[in-house]
Structure formats: structure tokens, C-alpha cells
Structure 1
């Protein structure tokens, strides 16, 4: 996939995430996906995403930077939200978070086959508990 195709794929993916359109994830995710190097499935990824939105209904992913290399995408995002339900062991208090996420994807046949994400979880927990 050339850079413009990868860019378009990722922009549509983030738009679907932000709209909570989980029924369209088969457009973006292969049936079998490596999640941080571990074998997984599209359904497993969708369940994780649904769980996040269930706990943080206003979660928003904002793209800050994208880099493309052949069949790979590297992204820096800002994630924001206010948990409405217990999440990551923290009861909702009305506190919001704003953290950085780094994500790396590999694409084959127009779908993600490898997804790795790194979040500043310690910073997020600090924001939610202070």
C-alpha cells in the first residue's frame, strides 16, 4: 500500500473509533491480528475497544503525527476522556485524562495485521486519582 492509501486507511480507522462504529472494524482489521506480538483476533480487538468506550464514553483519539514505511504506520496520538464507570481499577470521580499514545501498525491487503500500542498509563492513573 502506498503512503496515501495507508494515510486514508488510518484516518478512516480513527474516525470510526471516535464515532464508536465498531461494526465497521472488519474494514480495518484482519481476522487474525498480532496484538503487541501476541496472536489475537479482530473480535478480541473490538471487545477491548468496546470496553474502553463503555467505561469512557467520551474517549477521543487525536492524531498528532503519522509516519509511513512501506506497509507500516507509526502514529503519535493524544487520548482524552472522562471515565463514567470504573476503569483500570479506578472509580469514576469526574476527573478527565489527557495522555500520549504511540502506536505501530503493519498492513497487509488493506487491513491491520499487527497492532502495538504504548500508553502512559501511570500518567493517566495520576490524573484520574488526584
Structure 2
């Protein structure tokens, strides 16, 4: 009986180690997403992002149900690198549960031109974002996201 208990304990420890390792990999892969957001003009960060998101990854940011593809997302962020060269997207909190990684983030930056039609005249913004990343086999397959762009525009307009 003692031998059986020892084997069960050993299997439990092994399973916990594997689960912890998978969780660490998922978090590390999701972190690469934010590394790219902070360095959208970097080919190195874009390649690291492509390595951790699925070919058919979907970015969903509104209630229309329309999804943005990986290529469209990377292209859009490339434009942001020119408009907001100091864009920084930091992870404030990261929670993993049931194949999803939820991130509370903070984006800061100073646009060098009009952002969504608002000329900030050298002002900076700081906003919060909430993202829900769904992962399968270590790859991000879908991201639902909400950013406080209205708050950014309010800050840029000096209100």
C-alpha cells in the first residue's frame, strides 16, 4: 500500500510539474504578443509574434464579430510604430484559466501626428486594455480585446 501511495504521489508531482510548465509557456507566448505591441516596427518582434500565434489567428475588438487576420494586425501595428514611436504596452496582470490567458495591460505613448483625427500637439496618453487570449497547443488562436481609446483621445485633446 505504501508503494502505491508513493507512485500516486510521484505521478501527482509529475502532472503538476507538466501543468506548471505548460502554463509558463503559455504566459511566455502571450508576453511575446505585448513585446510586439511595444516594438511594432521590429522585424525580430514580428517574427517572434508570428511564431506564437496561429496562422488563422483572429483579433476581435468590437461587437460586429468581424475579425482581423494576423497579417492585417501586424500591418496595422506597423503604422502605429510610425505614428507612436514610443508606444509601450506593459502587462499589469496576467491570469491563466481553462486554455485562456487574460491580460490587464497599460499602453502609453506620444503620437507624432493626429491619432484618430485628434492632434495631441505633443501630449501623451495612458490607457488600460483588457485582452482574452485563447491558446491551443501553445499557440494563440484568438484574441478578444478592449482598449480605452476614447480615454486616449480625451487626454490628447487636453480635456
Give the equivalent residue in structure 1 for 2:50: 26
Gaps of 5+ in 1: none
**1:1-130 paired onto structure 2 within 5 Å:** 2-20=22-40, 21-36=45-60, 37-130=65-158
TM-score by length of 2: 0.74
Number of paired residues?
A: 130
Structure 1 stretch displaced more, 37-46 or 50-59 = 37-46
2:58/2:70 contact within 8 Å kept = no
More helix by share: 2
Task: Please give the alpha-carbon distance, in whole angstroms, between the structure 1 residues aligned to 2:102 and 2:80.
Answer: 22
Q: CA deviation at 1:48?
A: 1.9
Question: Which secondary structure does the structure 2 equivalent of 1:93 belong to?
Answer: coil
Q: Write out per-residue CA displacement over residues 58-109 of structure 1, whole angstroms, 9 at most, x where no aligned residue.
A: 0001111111013101000110000012221122410000010111110123
Structure index of larger Rg: 2
Residue 117 of structure 1: how far off its partner (Å): 1.1
> Which ranges in structure 2 are unaligned for 5 or more consecutive residues?
1-18
Structure showing the higher strand proportion among its residues: 1
CA distance in 1, matches of 2:107, 2:67: 25
